[in-house]
Amino acid sequence: MYSPATIYPSTEKLYMSTNLKLAEESSARRRLRASHPAGGDVDKTVDALVDGTKLADPAVRKALVDGGEAAVAASTDPMIVAARRVDPIVREPLAA
């Protein structure tokens, strides 16, 4: 969490877009796509999240940990905003 190791945006984009595309037909992915105002273009979404986040900076991550739930709830970082949006959707029980 506090590692100063370099985070490579191109690698992060590859991991995120690959995983989202592999999950393309999952129930959670369909619900996410349906709730996305632009229809959920995976590559554009991943680019915006990775290019806009400040989470590559260990100091930013430490501030979120130190600030606890309140800091995460108040964060406007696009990756945190996306995580808050996605979390309740992926936690929903799957329909039988």
Structural domain contains residue 44: yes
| pLDDT higher than threshold 70 for residue 95 | no
Buried b (16+ CB within 10 A) or exposed e, 18-33: eebeeeeeeeebeebb
Residue 4 is assigned to a structural domain of this protein: no
When divided into structural domains, the chain yields a total of 1
Q: Is residue 96 part of a domain?
A: no
pTM: 0.76
Does 1 map to a domain?
no
d(C-alpha 39, C-alpha 7), whole Å = 28
Owning domain of residue 57: 9-91
pLDDT 10s digits, 11-67: 999 999 988 887 766 666 566 665 554 456 889 999 999 999 999 999 999 999 999
Q: Would you say residue 63 lies in a domain?
A: yes
pLDDT of residue 1: 86
